[in-house]
Homo-oligomer: A and B are copies of this chain.
Amino acid sequence: MRDLVIARFGRTPASGVEKNDPDRLQIPDSEVPRSLFQALARCVGERRVSTDRMDRIRHAVGQSYLDLIKLRRGELETVPDVVVYPGSHDEVVHVLAVCAKEEATVIPFGGGTSVVGGVNTRPGKHPTVVLDMARMNRLIAVDTVSLTATLGAGMRGPEVAATLLPHGLTLGHLPQSFEFSTVGGWVATRSAGQASTGFGRADQLVRGLRCATPIGELQLGRGPWSAAGPRLLDLIVGSEGAFGVITEVTFEVYPLPERQRYEAWSFPSFAQGITALRMLMRELGPGMAPDVCRLSDPDETAITLALSRNTWATRVARAYLNLRGHGSSCVAILGWEGSVHQIIWRHRHAMALLRRHGAVPLGSGPARSWQRQRFVAPALRDTLLDHGLLVETVETAAYWSDLPRVYEAVREAVLAELRPWRPLVLAHLSHLYRTGASLYFTILARRDDDDPIGQWTRAKHAVSQAIAEQGATITHHHGIGSDHAPWMEAEVGQVGVTALRALKAAVDPDRLLNPGVLIPDEADDGQQTTGETED
C-alpha cells in the first residue's frame, strides 16, 4: 500500500499536512441557554445532558471526506451546543417539546457515520441540540413465529446481531458502517447492506416503526403488507431526521443461516461480468441468486490484487488468469447463505450460468479475505488521509441497460475534474435487482493542499451532474443529507419537492428538526437545476 501511494501519487506519510487531533481544535463555547439546559435535564436527567467539549466535537459532523478534512484542519464551521442522551420514546417526545418551546434546533444522531452531511451542525441563530440515540438500544419484542423483531432505534449493528442470536435469528443487514451505525440511522437513510441482494435493504425489511414528530406520535405498520392508501411508512423511512425521530423499528428478520459459502470468480471483462450478474438475477431472481454479489471493475480488481497480503498466492492467481485470457480481469465476490441443501442447489445453478458467461472460479481464499476486511475501509481511509490523499466514495443505481454508460460517465467526470491530481477511480457493481444494480466508486487522488475543500466540492459536483444527466439516482444507499439536497429536484421534480416541503411543514411546523438535509432550501430554488452544492 505504501509503495502504491508513493508510486502512484508521489505521497508519503510525511505528506499528511495534519493529523486527526481534536485536541488542537478551536471551538466556540456552548451557547446553550440556562433555561434550555435545565429543561433538558428535567427530560432525561442532568448527567444525560452534556456540554463537554469532546462530546460536542464528536457530534458536530459525520464521516464524509470533507467532514474529516475540516476536522483535521480545524475548520469546523460550528459545533452543537449540547448533546442529549434520551432513554425512551417518551423522553424523546419531551425533548422535542422543550426544544420547540426554547426554539432550539434538534439533530437526531445514531452512529454519526453519514457521508453526505446528514448529521452536521449548521450555523444558525438557534442553539443546536444533538439527540444521541445510543441509550435506546434494547430489544423491545421478538416474534419467532412471524419472524419480526422490534428494536430500539439506537442499537448498533453488533448489538442487533448479539441480541437476535439467542433467538436463532439475524437481520442480515451489513452496511460497511455496521460496527457504528444504528437501527434508526439505517431506516432514516434507506441503508443497503452488503447482502442486500438476498436479504433486502433496510427499507425493505421495515415492517413498522414508531416515530416522535413535533406534532405527535406516528406508529405505522399493521401486519406484513397493506393497501391502506399511500405507504406513509415510506415517508418516515428515508426522512433523515427531518420529519421526526425514529425511536423503534419493527424489522422482518431471518432464521440464522445454517451455512455460508463465499467465493471469488473472475470474468474476462467488466461487461461480461455485468451480463453474468444480470442473468443470475433474471434466471434465478432474489432468493435463489447469490445473497452477496459484488463485481469489481478492472482498476478495483488490480488494486485489490496488488494490495493483497498474500503476494505469492496473488502471483499464482494472476499467472493463471493471464493463461485463461483474463489479463485485465474483473473479480466478483459471490456469497450464499442458507440451509446446506439450498446452498448446494443454488450454487450449482449459479455455477453453470457463470461458466456459460466465461467466468473462472478463484476459490474461497479471496472471498474470505474480502469478508475479513469488509468493514475496514473507513479505517484504511484514515491512513490514506494521513498520506495527504483525497479519498471519497460516491454511488448510484441504474437499470441494467443504462449501467455501462452511467459507469463511463461518472468515471469520465471524475477523471476530467481531478486530472491535475492523478486521479484513480475504482468501481464495483453490487446490490443486484432484477432490473438493475448499484455502482459504487472509490475515488483517490493527490490532495490539493491549497484548497482541498474546493477540489472535492468541484469533483463531487461534476459526478452528481453526470449521474443526474444519465437519469440514474443521485444515491442508492448513502442518502441525501445536505450534500445531495440540491439534486432532489432532479430526482423527484418540482412537484416532488413541493410535496416534501408540505410534509415537513405539516409534521415539523416550527422547523426544529435537522435543517438543511433532504429538502433543498427554498432560497436556492433559482439554482437548483444547476445543482450547486451547498458547501
Interface residues of A (CB under 8 A from B): 143, 145-148, 189-192, 201, 203, 207, 213, 215-220, 222-232, 234-240, 243, 252, 255, 278, 282-288, 339, 341-342, 345, 349, 396-402, 431, 433-438, 471-480, 484, 488, 491-496, 498-503, 505-507, 518
The residue from B227, B239, B255, B493 contacting A192, defined by CB atoms under 8 A apart: B227
Residues of chain B within 8 A of A252, CB atoms compared: 434-435
Q: How far is the CA of A473 from the CA of B231 in the complex (A)?
A: 12
- Contact check, A491 vs B222: say whether CB atoms are below 8 A apart: yes
Q: How far is the CA of A492 from the CA of B479 in the complex (A)?
A: 25
Residues of chain B within 8 A of A505, CB atoms compared: 502
Q: Which of A255, A339, A345, A488 has the most CB of B within 10 A?
A: A345
**What are 8 inter-chain pairs, A to B, with CB distance below 8 A?**
A145-B401, A146-B435, A224-B397, A224-B437, A229-B491, A232-B499, A342-B349, A345-B345
The residue from B191, B226, B284, B286 contacting A476, defined by CB atoms under 8 A apart: B226
Nearest neighbor of A496 in chain B, beta-carbon distance:
B232
Nearest neighbor of A221 in chain B, beta-carbon distance:
B473
Identical subunits present: 2
Enumerate the 7 nearest inter-chain pairs by beta-carbon distance, A residue then B residue, closest first. Answer: A287-B287, A502-B506, A224-B436, A190-B227, A146-B399, A226-B473, A234-B234
Q: How far is the CA of A510 from the CA of B503 in the complex (A)?
A: 18
- Contact check, B287 vs A286: say whether CB atoms are below 8 A apart: yes
Shortest CB distance A24–B (Å): 35
- Contact check, B223 vs A477: say whether CB atoms are below 8 A apart: no
Shortest CB distance A530–B (Å): 18
Q: How far is the CA of A15 from the CA of B168 in the complex (A)?
A: 59
- Contact check, A228 vs B503: say whether CB atoms are below 8 A apart: no
Q: Which of A225, A397, A402, A484 has the most CB of B within 10 A?
A: A225
- Contact check, A495 vs B218: say whether CB atoms are below 8 A apart: yes
Residues of chain B within 8 A of A402, CB atoms compared: 146, 223
Contact A201 to B225, CB < 8 A, known contacts A145-B400, A401-B145, A507-B498 = yes
Nearest neighbor of A211 in chain B, beta-carbon distance:
B495
- Contact check, A435 vs B147: say whether CB atoms are below 8 A apart: yes
- Contact check, A228 vs B143: say whether CB atoms are below 8 A apart: no
The residue from B148, B278, B496 contacting A399, defined by CB atoms under 8 A apart: B148
Q: How far is the CA of A439 from the CA of B535 in the complex (A)?
A: 52
Contact A225 to B433, CB < 8 A, known contacts A288-B288, A399-B143 = yes
Contact A255 to B282, CB < 8 A, known contacts A224-B433, A288-B287, A503-B499 = yes
Residues of chain B within 8 A of A216, CB atoms compared: 493-495
- Contact check, B207 vs A435: say whether CB atoms are below 8 A apart: yes
Nearest neighbor of A243 in chain B, beta-carbon distance:
B230
Residues of chain B within 8 A of A506, CB atoms compared: 498-499, 501-502
- Contact check, A339 vs B228: say whether CB atoms are below 8 A apart: no
Residues of chain B within 8 A of A223, CB atoms compared: 396-399, 402, 436, 471-473, 476
Further 4 A-B residue pairs, CB within 8 A, beyond A222-B471, A230-B238, A342-B349: A216-B493, A223-B473, A224-B397, A232-B496
Contact A143 to B401, CB < 8 A, known contacts A190-B226, A224-B436, A500-B232 = yes
Residues of chain B within 8 A of A437, CB atoms compared: 224
- Contact check, B222 vs A227: say whether CB atoms are below 8 A apart: no
- Contact check, B518 vs A488: say whether CB atoms are below 8 A apart: no
- Contact check, B496 vs A282: say whether CB atoms are below 8 A apart: no
- Contact check, A220 vs B496: say whether CB atoms are below 8 A apart: yes
- Contact check, A473 vs B222: say whether CB atoms are below 8 A apart: yes
- Contact check, B500 vs A229: say whether CB atoms are below 8 A apart: yes
Shortest CB distance A86–B (Å): 19
Q: Which of A255, A492, A493 has the most CB of B within 10 A?
A: A492
Residues of chain B within 8 A of A220, CB atoms compared: 492-493, 496
Q: How far is the CA of A401 from the CA of B342 in the complex (A)?
A: 26
- Contact check, A189 vs B227: say whether CB atoms are below 8 A apart: yes
Residues of chain B within 8 A of A502, CB atoms compared: 502-503, 505-507
Residues of chain B within 8 A of A401, CB atoms compared: 143, 145-146
Q: Which of A143, A230, A437 has the most CB of B within 10 A?
A: A230
Nearest neighbor of A222 in chain B, beta-carbon distance:
B473
Q: How far is the CA of A475 from the CA of B286 in the complex (A)?
A: 27
Q: How far is the CA of A174 from the CA of B213 in the complex (A)?
A: 39
Nearest neighbor of A220 in chain B, beta-carbon distance:
B492
Q: How far is the CA of A397 from the CA of B147 in the complex (A)?
A: 15
- Contact check, A282 vs B147: say whether CB atoms are below 8 A apart: yes
